[in-house]
Each structure stands twice: as C-alpha cells, then as structure tokens.
Amino acid sequence: MTIGFIGLGIMGKPMAANLIKAGCRLVVYDVERERLADALAKGAQPGASPAEVASRCERIITMLPNSPQVKEVALGMHGIIEGARSGSILIDMSSIAPAASREVAAALAAKGMEMLDAPVSGGEPKAVDGTLAIMVGGKAEVFSQVKDILLKMGSSAVLCGGIGAGNVTKLANQIIVALNIAAMSEALVLATKAGVNPDTVFNAIKGGLAGSTVLNAKAPMVLDGNFKPGFRIELHIKDLQNALDTAYEIGVPIPLTSQVMEIMQALKVEGKAGDDHSGLVQFYEKLAGVKARR
C-alpha cells in the first residue's frame, strides 16, 4: 500500500521519514517544494498536487498549520476531494478546530472517503524519534485499519471518540501544557527573586506532586536560557485560540487559558513568537527584574 503525505514542515518531515524507515512507500507533497528533498532522497515519490496524491494513494496523511490550510488542501482547487477514491482514508494529523475536522469529514464522506482527525503531542523531538502521542477521532472500524500506520510515528494512538474528538483532546492537552508552563515560570521566578537557586528548587520538587513531564522537559530549558523552539509560542497561540473558540461555541468558561493567551500575545508583540513555549518565563522575568537561570 502507498501512503500519501502532505505537509513536510517541522513535524511532517520527521514523521514521513519514520514511515519510510518502517518500509512504507510514500508519495509526498508540500506547497514549498524544497521541503520535499529529504523525503525524496529517502525514496519517496513526488506528488504534483493534493488531488494527484489522493488519486494514487488509499491512505493520505496531512500535517498542516491550521484549519484554513487543512480545508484548502482537502476541499480547495486541486485538493484531495478532487482525486479522492471511494474507500480511501484521510488521516489529518494537524492540530485544528474540531468543527473544521467535522466540516472536512462531511464533505469527503459525500465522495465516499473516510476521515480521522489525529493530532499529536510531543513536539519535534518525539516526531523525530517516533514516540508521539496520537489522539484520534473517527469511526472505530476506520481507526483499526490505520492504527498500525500511526504506531510507526508514535508510541501510542488512542481513539477518543467520533470525528473531532481527537482535536478536542489535543485542545485539552494544550491547555494543560500551557498552564503548566505558566505555573512553572511563576514558581521559578518567585524562587529566584527570593534568593533561592531555581535549579535547586527544580531538583527538589520534580520528584513530588508538582513533578510532571512538562516540568522535566521545560525547566532545564528555562534554567539554561535556551528558547530554541521545539514548539513555538506562535503555534501554542494558534492552539489556544482554537480552544477559546471551541469553548465559546459550547459555553464553557476557560479563564486561566485566557490569561495565558494574553501572556503569549504579549511575548509575540515583543518579537518572541518564534521562541519555544518555555520562553513564556520571559514575561515573568521582565516584570520581576530577574532571570531564573542556573
């Protein structure tokens, strides 16, 4: 079976590479053609358009920035819908609004095509080593047909419910990650201002109830002043905006998310949108007049 892969950016490139490494035949496409080079060098075949990729493949994976790009690639001119085969499956691994996933799935269903929304967590490092956590929405019988493909890119793939449920789960994930980073930032800046070494605080608390995967991954970056992105602030802003939009649509208050969104927007205005989201600490450091470093 040949798999189509559309979107070879920071996340898509290593995900496609892991599929090739696992022995999958790939047809790849990206609007920025220079991004194809790595996959082609590893043996993938180029696709001329999303429609052409869909016409050649029974399984198509998309990994794109946000809802508008997914809708354009899936439903726009020369989009997947134009080349769709009846019975083929689109696996959209982008992080987008749940409503957008349902819209695309409904349009593709009219052409006899199935869809799963399957966003991921873990950032570039886990995309590279193939240990992403994959959250899936869609039909159980469709999920069972492609779970083996997903597990070539991730260490887990969990069916969370119907179409859109994967992205709802991803939004929940992104809220928790954002609030964890904000709490960590407040705590480390407080410790620094109080005259206690923040590295000592990190080592003292990481084994207790405050310990978390987020703390272990992001505190060392803060303490080293290393904000080279694994996951950029601007991408987290995108995810939180989708969370806020979804919350407003269904009538759920998420005030803490709103506050972290404002902090990230302030950093964006300061030109830090490309920093890793651990760089959120810089907001607190500026206000307190200290830097939480080793």
Express each pLDDT in 194-248 by its tens digit. Answer: 999 999 999 999 999 999 999 999 999 999 999 998 889 999 999 999 999 999 9
Active site residue 206: no
Check whether 286 has a pLDDT greater than 90: yes
Check whether 123 has a pLDDT greater than 90: no
The whole-number average pLDDT for the span 37-51 is 97
Q: Which one, of 40, 37, 14, 8, lies nearest residue 25 by Cα?
A: 40
What pLDDT does residue 230 have? 83
Q: Look-up: residue for tokens 């599929």?
A: 19
Confidence of residue 1 (pLDDT cuts 50, 70, 90): confident
Beta bridge partners of 161: 137
> Among the options 71, 170, 218, 272, which is catalytic?
170
Q: Say how far residue 7 (Cα) sits from the centre of its chain.
A: 13
Express each pLDDT in 23-33 by its tens digit. Answer: 999 999 999 99
What pLDDT does residue 116 have? 98
Q: Which one, of 189, 198, 262, 276, lies nearest residue 232 by Cα?
A: 276
What pLDDT does residue 264 have? 98
3-class SS shares of the chain: helix, strand, coil, % to 5: 55, 15, 30
What pLDDT does residue 250 have? 96
Tell me the average pLDDT of the chain: 97
What pLDDT does residue 228 have? 94
Mention every residue, 6+ apart, whose C-beta is less than 8 A from residue 270.
282
The whole-number average pLDDT for the span 19-24 is 97
Domain boundaries, the chain: 2-163, 168-288
Q: What are residue 48's phi and psi, to 5 degrees? A: -80, -25
Q: Is the CATH code 1.10.1040.10 the one for domain 168-288?
A: yes
User: Could you tell me the pTM of the whole model?
Assistant: 0.93
Confidence of residue 141 (pLDDT cuts 50, 70, 90): very high
Domains 2-163 and 168-288 share a fold: no
The whole-number average pLDDT for the span 82-91 is 95
Q: Tell me how far apart the alpha carbons of residues 139 and 130 are, in angstroms, rounded to a whole number.
A: 24
CATH of domain 2-163: 3.40.50.720
The whole-number average pLDDT for the span 166-173 is 97
